[in-house]
Chains A and B, each alone.
Chain A
Amino acid sequence: MKTSVFAAVSAIAVTCAMPAVAEPQAEVLHWWTSGGEAKSVAVLQQEFADNGGTWTDMPVAGGGGDAAMTALRARVLSGNAPTAVQLKGPAIQEWYEEGVLADISAVAEAEGWADVLPASIAGHMKCEGTWCAAPVNVHRVDWIWANADVLEANGIAMPTTWDEFNAAADKLAAAGITPLAHGGQAWQDATVFEAVALGILGADGFKKAFVDLDMDTLKSDGMVAVFDQMRKMRGYVDDNFSGRDWNLATAMVMNGEAAFQIMGDWAKGEFLAAGKAPGEDFLCASVPGDGFLYNVDSFAMFNVDGDDKKAGQDLLSKLIVGQNFQKVFNLNKGSIPARVDVALDDFDSCAHLSAKDMNESSDNGSLLPSYAHGMALRGAQSGAITDVVTAHFNSDMSSADAVNMLADAVANSM
């Protein structure tokens, strides 16, 4: 008995000691499993293999990442965390506080990430000053998409203020066209809400309300105005919107049933997949108001044992932020590269607009995290806000009541 245990232990010791140079190993937990996304991950996988690494894929589909997070929790609790995990926004810091994230500052500094990433996006990738995650892409959330033919037929230009939007919507409604395509799911309500809030509160107000959770801003008259506009938006949505998926709403814009949709740039993928051309068949513009709401996907690196895994982590981080991957991945995904020095020649006009706005807003401080997509706040707080937004949108609650409820809900979620 004793000898066999000894033999086994020494066998393990031998196999562990064997590789003289650590071969990069990475086990990657992600939930990019659908068509275009899976293709995008395959790009990274290929590049990783080309650089001599061994990639262990751990895709967990379902629930917009909920299932993957459950798997992650189980793995971390059992002391066997994956090498890299698709995480974003404050969730990175939340995991850091649990003491399970690794430090990849060496790679980040060697590659000069600080110079090529916009400052506010780089901020999400740092945990108390050290780099702990690598950004993959930048989705813009505050887009308004429109059917070009419908707008032309009704003599409407892309709105640049909310008053113009309301006027255009009233005109469209009178013409028998649904002004706003929308799906009644809580996160979609929240997406419209934050676009409206950015327009009405402005970049500063948005930051105070949804990043700093400043009670005075949450209870301000501006917030009442935001809910007033949301009530109007409710009137521009068709009766049958409850529970509709976002891509079905996009389809309504595509086939001219509806004129506008407010949705992140993943909607562009739907248009392109249907063979529509940006600028001709459909139009893209930022929603009325200044600013840029981003939703940045990233990979956080977890604490792992073994040189091969650490080497894998370094290689993976380097490749993710590398120019080539940033370009190929984002062409597939419909987003734009997180680093600002990637040539955008192959990208479409909407992506060019997005990149231009990102640089400008980064300079004037209006490059802001999206609250509706979990970039600005932790789950409990953003969830509490979404509860109020969706309750207001789906009932006849007054704006004043909604604002009070919002303040209470945020206080209660702390």
Chain B
Amino acid sequence: MTEWLERHIPKMVLAPSFIAILVFVYGFIAWTAWVSLTRSRLLPKYEVEGLIQYERLFASPRFDTAMMNLFIFGTLFIIISMVLGLLIAILLDQKIRTEGVLRTIYLYPMALSMIVTGTAWKWIMNPGLGIEKMVRDWGFESFSFDWVIDPDMAIYAVVIAGVWQASGFVMALFLAGLRSVDGEIIKAAQVDGIPNWRIYSAIIIPSMAPIFLSAFIVLAHLAIKSFDLVIALTGGGPGYATDLPATYMYAMAFSRGDIGQAASSAMVMMAVVFAIIVPYLYSELRVKHD
């Protein structure tokens, strides 16, 4: 009996969460996929009609804008956050006295919700209230910083707010990574008289590859599911210039009573996530296999 229990208790304990995930994650993914093939409007319908919703989706200029914005936002957000995070981490790594305080200050934005970040930056970047007005009041009358109301630049304003929020977190990741590099190697390099920047670029950073990967994955999923930041900062505007696939999906499902359209855009979003996650999983699993 005890032997039987010993063998089966782990399975029994895991079973509820396994079933919950099976139903609430994979079950509903399957449900969404099904609905995306129907002509559902206000309420879900289950007669499969083919790929009509995807045709509508890809014919919609608004969804084009949303995907383009995801691409711009995702790329810049990930790259700038990583570069800035790494830079701050390296600077903090110079054994400075107030590191603890500075680290907390940089990490703190991560503790805020995206809604707070978005609202604060909305005011900071508003030309009539924020930076532009301040600089103009100092006497620089021609100064202009109106990205948040310029349809061509508004998505970059979103990037600024996103980077502000996330780069501190990336810094913390990298700082941990920097500290985990074997001190002996660094000392050996220093004894050999190798300049500091070479130590970083040739020894420390390459040995941090797994940290880069984790940072990338965390930032990528933040970018793809980004919704609240845009809602708070620009409300998707001006026009729909800062729409992202997530806000598009929300508008279709909850404002317009077009569930089929929402489901198909959700499936496309999932495909984007898979395009990023699957290579990661593949590389992870392969490493374990060796």
Contact = CB atoms under 8 A, between A and B. Distances in A.
A154 B238 CA distance: 32
B261 to A, nearest CB: 7
A412 B148 CA distance: 30
B237 A66 contact: no
Nearest to B239: A394
Interface stretch (B90-98, B162-170, B251-259, B265-273): B251-259
B188 to A, nearest CB: 57
Nearest to B255: A66
12 contacts: A186-B236, A239-B127, A239-B128, A242-B238, A243-B149, A380-B258, A390-B240, A394-B239, A395-B151, A408-B59, A412-B56, A413-B56
A125 B117 CA distance: 44
B42 A94 contact: yes
B238 A394 contact: yes
Given A94-B42, A98-B42, A394 B151 contact: yes
Given A387-B62, A390-B240, A412-B60, A69 B254 contact: yes
Given A186-B237, A391-B239, A70 B127 contact: no
Given A379-B258, A380-B258, A405-B61, A98 B43 contact: yes
A220 to B, nearest CB: 21
Given A239-B149, A412-B59, A390 B254 contact: no
Interface string A382-412: 0100010011111100000000010011001
Interface string B90-125: 000000000000000000000000000000001000
A95 interface: yes
Nearest to A72: B42
Given A243-B237, A383-B255, A387-B62, 18 more contacts: A63-B254, A77-B43, A94-B42, A94-B257, A189-B239, A239-B128, A242-B238, A243-B235, A243-B238, A378-B41, A378-B257, A379-B255, A379-B256, A380-B257, A380-B261, A391-B61, A394-B237, A408-B59
B283 to A, nearest CB: 40
A352 interface: no
Contacts of B251: 383
Contacts of A67: 254
B228 interface: no
B226 interface: no
Nearest to B257: A379
Contact of A387 (B126, B234, B240): B240
A378 to B, nearest CB: 7
Nearest to B260: A380
A263 B175 CA distance: 54
A332 B17 CA distance: 52
Interface string B133-172: 0000000000000101101000000000000000000000
Interface residues of A, number: 37
A298 to B, nearest CB: 17
A184 interface: yes
B223 interface: no
B257 A409 contact: no
Contacts of A76: 43
A276 interface: no
A3 interface: no
A400 B254 CA distance: 31
Nearest to A392: B239
A387 B261 CA distance: 15
Given A408-B59, A412-B60, A393 B127 contact: no
A185 B235 contact: yes
The winner among B149, B238, B239 for most chain A CB atoms within 10 A is B239
B249 interface: no
Contact of A95 (B42, B235, B237, B256): B42
B244 interface: no
B101 to A, nearest CB: 36
Contacts of A70: 254
Nearest to B251: A383
B127 A409 contact: no
B175 to A, nearest CB: 37
A91 B255 CA distance: 11
B126 to A, nearest CB: 7
Contacts of A239: 127-128, 146, 149
Interface in A168-200: 184-186, 189
A73 interface: yes
Contact of B237 (A184, A392, A405): A184
Contacts of A240: 126-128, 149
Contact of A242 (B41, B59, B237, B240): B237
B59 A393 contact: no
B122 A243 contact: yes
